[in-house]
Amino acid sequence: MRTSPTRLAAVLALALALAAQAGPARADEPLLVPFIDLESGALWVGRHDVQAPAGGTAFSLVDGGDFQAGVTPFVRAAGGLSWERHTLLLGFAPLWLQGQGTSGAALQFGGVPFTADSGASYSYRLEAYRLAYRYTLVARPSLTLALGGGALLRYAELRLSQPGQTASAHDLGLIPIASLRMDWRFSGDFGLVLDGDAGAAAGRRSEDVSLALEFTSGELAFRAGYRVMEGGLDAARFRDLLLLHYLVAGVSYQF
């Protein structure tokens, strides 16, 4: 049967009317919103206790001031997706510390003897990769609260050197984490944001929490505050316990 122009026009008009009615419904469907977050500032070491292996010397890279790295700049990056009450994020937090001085006493690290009162240096590398999911339990204009969980992949390496000899120890491990973000909008575009993760497994642990004042302008959010990170590895082959304090400034952008 042939289709007349009148019938075809009627079908097209009906299709356009249905599409127009369906438009708002599609707009209300879950929409993926990508975001990025950058953070930088300065950190200092509050504690760094090491030993490798268990028969080696247990010593501190902070107490006594022999190897203190001083104030160190840092940078972090994160990104992810949000839809409705859900957030999926991936973060990368690298760290590089260096210090030099004297050991003050003979010690063994990584099976290598280091003499006392001789020039020595260390370098410490830490890379943390975070994958987390959060669900927003509370979504009010003045308060949001999101809880979830994920995993932290942590790689740490410590290298100790004296003229003519070097020793190192490293660790790679996965830590399950609980994740939280609370945003209290106490005055319009200004808010107080608590954001952090914590977890432990197989001798490893990590607590990484920040408290910051945030200002939102459109798709941009600027913040400044304080972060503390504590944890590491406590195992027979390598003991690496760390406490870091951060002064932070950050910016996030929603596309």
Show the domains of the chain with their CATH numbers. Answer: 31-254 (2.40.128.90)
The answer to whether the beta carbons of residues 222 and 239 sit under 8 Å apart is: no
Burial of 34 (0-12, 13-18, 19+ CB in 10 A): exposed
Cα separation, 130 vs 231, whole angstroms: 15
170-186 pLDDT per residue, tens: 999 999 999 999 999 99
Band the pLDDT of 66: cuts 50, 70, 90. Answer: low
Extract long-range pairs of 7-15: CB within 8 Å, 24+ residues apart.
Answer: none
22-42 pLDDT per residue, tens: 444 344 555 899 999 999 999
Residues above pLDDT 70, as percent of the chain: 85
pTM of the entire predicted model: 0.85
Residues above pLDDT 90, as percent of the chain: 75
Give the residue-averaged pLDDT of 64-72.
Answer: 71
| Amino acid 164: pLDDT | 86
- In the 3-class helix/strand/coil scheme, how is the chain assigned residue by residue? CCCCHHHHHHHHHHHHHHHHHHHHHHHCCCCCEEEEEEEEEEEEEEEEEEECCCCCCCEECCCCCCCCCCCEEEEEEEEEEEECCEEEEEEEEEEEEEEEEECCCCEEECCEEECCCCEEEEEEEEEEEEEEEEEEEEECCCEEEEEEEEEEEEEEEEEEEECCEEEEEEEEEEEEEEEEEEEEEEECCEEEEEEEEEEEECCEEEEEEEEEEEEEECCEEEEEEEEEEEEEEECCCCEEEEEEEEEEEEEEEEC
Cα separation, 103 vs 130, whole angstroms: 35
Residue partners of 178: CB distance under 8 A and separation at least 6: 147, 148, 149, 197, 198, 199
| Amino acid 68: pLDDT | 66
